[in-house]
Copies of this chain bind each other. A is one copy, B any other.
């Protein structure tokens, strides 16, 4: 069995050392040394991935290496920050060379595409757990914060959310009644295992969009974080949600469940002034990513009307208080008629 230090050296450190550009000192010392460019801030985010929670025990290690870094790069994208580097801490039940080889390959293939270098880490024995902290560079006044949405802003989403949740449904056999053909199932599974962080889009939107976040826990739940931090409400046109062709072939209820309450696509949800519509479209074209307007930021006073809480007679007082609580999202169809949706984001201490 390889010792911890041999493992790090073989799969991670040697690669990091030959690759070092931005860190003055990388793996092998007590700390890495890193600095943002003059006038820029370091954007920092950390994500922990746990077996059984964020991935299944038989996950392809190459896909896991990709995804572990992708979810972190996605946080940089949501901030409009350019990737610089990352640290990797992981606990492994026991080191298996074939597993580490595939994991590190998936990790570094993505890292190289975004010029994001491994600058430090930690390895220990324990139940499989991956913790990555990622560093990016952004001008403080251009950062896409969650607290910057304003009433009247358009609400946009990138890509076609919901495919990853459909992929999870396929893997877990959630919908035995639904007929899903093989090509669609492959499409969904790919979305789940190899999410593409929207780094180029985030960079192109800096200075154009107002508020942004990446959708990791579901559009309905994550949008609330922008609303809370910006002290606003929202109206969403559910019929405007962009769906992949594969997702559009599922029953409508599953489409909405996947697109609104499913996380793991790591698309960006952002707001921008209506006057910026052309600039947003141009930024998306430059980044090579589809973006779609799905709604509008409303002021806190124009809260969701009672009608938006659905058939009021059918819900008890407790439920009504919950669904009407600020921040409120008014769900509409293309005609503007209210829809009753009782969806919530994925909360890690609740059942999925």
Interface residues of A (CB under 8 A from B): 1-5, 7, 24-25, 28-36, 40-48, 50-54, 75-76, 78-79, 81, 87-91, 94-95, 119-127, 129, 131, 133, 135-136, 138, 140, 143-147, 212-214, 225, 229, 347-350
Given contacts A31-B81, A125-B348, contact A48 B89 (CB under 8 A): yes
Report, nearest first, the 7 A-B pairs whose CB atoms are least far apart.
Answer: A50-B126, A131-B131, A31-B43, A30-B78, A48-B89, A33-B41, A133-B133
Q: Are A125 and B42 in contact (CB under 8 A)?
A: no
Q: Are A34 and B41 in contact (CB under 8 A)?
A: yes
Q: Are A125 and B5 in contact (CB under 8 A)?
A: no
**A216 nearest CB across to chain B (Å):** 9
Chain B residues near A212 (CB-CB < 8 A): 30
Give the docked Cα–Cα distance between A89 and B45 (Å): 10
Measured CB to CB, the nearest residue on chain B to A90 is B48
Task: Pick the residue among B5, B34, B47, B48 that contacts A42 (CB under 8 A).
Answer: B34
Given contacts A24-B41, A29-B145, contact A3 B347 (CB under 8 A): yes
Q: Are A91 and B50 in contact (CB under 8 A)?
A: yes
Task: Pick the residue among B2, B31, B89, B119 that contacts A76 (CB under 8 A).
Answer: B31
Q: Are A44 and B125 in contact (CB under 8 A)?
A: no
Given contacts A48-B90, A124-B48, contact A31 B129 (CB under 8 A): no
Q: Are A30 and B214 in contact (CB under 8 A)?
A: yes
Give the docked Cα–Cα distance between A76 and B29 (Å): 11
Task: Pick the residue among B81, B91, B144 that contacts A129 (CB under 8 A).
Answer: B91
Give the interface centre of A5, A46, A76 by most chain B CB atoms within 10 Å. A46
Given contacts A31-B81, A129-B127, contact A348 B44 (CB under 8 A): no
Q: Are A4 and B347 in contact (CB under 8 A)?
A: yes
**A311 nearest CB across to chain B (Å):** 26
Q: Can you list 25 A-B pairs with a CB-CB distance of less than 8 A? A: A4-B348, A30-B45, A30-B146, A30-B212, A30-B214, A31-B75, A31-B143, A32-B44, A33-B42, A33-B43, A33-B79, A33-B138, A34-B42, A35-B40, A45-B120, A46-B88, A46-B121, A47-B89, A47-B122, A48-B89, A48-B124, A50-B127, A53-B126, A54-B124, A123-B348
Given A31-B81, A51-B126, 19 other A-B contacts at CB below 8 A? A24-B140, A25-B145, A30-B212, A31-B75, A31-B76, A31-B78, A32-B45, A33-B44, A33-B140, A44-B135, A46-B120, A47-B122, A48-B124, A48-B129, A95-B349, A122-B131, A123-B348, A127-B129, A129-B131
Given contacts A127-B129, A213-B30, contact A46 B348 (CB under 8 A): no
**A284 nearest CB across to chain B (Å):** 19
Give the docked Cα–Cα distance between A36 and B35 (Å): 7
